[in-house]
Amino acid sequence: DRHGNLIVADAWKGLLSIAPDKTVTVLTREAEGLPFRFTDDVDIAPDGRIYFTDASSQFREPEYRLDLLEMRPHGRLLRYDPATRKTEVLLSNLHFANGVAVSPDGEYLLVNETWKYRILKYWIGGRYPGQAEVFADNLPGFPDNLAVDHEGRFWVAFPTLRNAQVDTLHRQPWLKDLLAKLPDYFKPKPQEYGLVVAMDEDGSVITSLHDTKGTHLQEITSVNPHDGYLYFGSLHNDRIGRLALSAIPELGGSSNE
């Protein structure tokens, strides 16, 4: 934040602030009397207010596949105001509220609704303050975290592609109930594939980056642009990936870099 604190969405502890001297402060862990069970992603607006998500009020991080199987809207988009220390619920009833990114001008933000394969736009100010609309729908995979670069391009990380088995299961509630009781070995698994998509402010795709066999990076859960590079994170890779923006042909780079 503007004071040099690192703001963290901790899946178990809530929204945290870590000072430069390493002092950890819990900013908030509940809203409207409902505790966070899966604090997920966070971004800070130009005015200093903090926007973050609680992916599920029902299931914790190790149980995320149960949230997918149940397919009920347990997620929320929230805002924390450091000045008043109050937490507001901006959107509720989201199907796994995940990545969040505030536009550079602070007029709106994007939030991923992972199980719905879509991204929502929430107007902070601008034309429709307090209203939400679909920004991108019918995505090729499960959108995870979001980030925006200085050019206003939104980068979306996809830990896996769409799963036909999951889509079929949603039409068979009795089968989902049975599957939920089985060991994780029998539940749907992420495909070994690396995917990141860049979109403009209108939701049009600018470029997509693929590791089709997951050789270098797979299950990409976060992508962050910084100082001319993209950095890729994952829950399961044993490395952090880096790619120069200048190497992406659609952005004016060379495909040989």
Q: Give tens-digit pLDDT for 19-54.
A: 999 999 999 999 999 999 999 999 999 999 999 999
What are the start-end ranges of the E strands in the chain? 6-10, 14-18, 24-28, 30-31, 34-35, 39-44, 50-54, 75-81, 86-94, 97-102, 108-113, 118-123, 132-136, 146-148, 154-158, 194-199, 205-211, 220-226, 229-234, 241-244
Domain locations in the chain as residue ranges:
1-138, 144-257
pLDDT for 68 equals 72
Q: Which CATH topology does 1-138 take?
A: Neuraminidase (2.120.10)
Mean pLDDT of 101-128: 94
pLDDT for 59 equals 82
The answer on pLDDT for 256 being more than 90 is: no
The answer on pLDDT for 139 being more than 70 is: yes
pTM higher than 0.75: yes
pLDDT for 155 equals 98
Interval 179-220: pLDDT, tens: 555 566 556 677 789 999 999 999 999 999 999 999 999 999
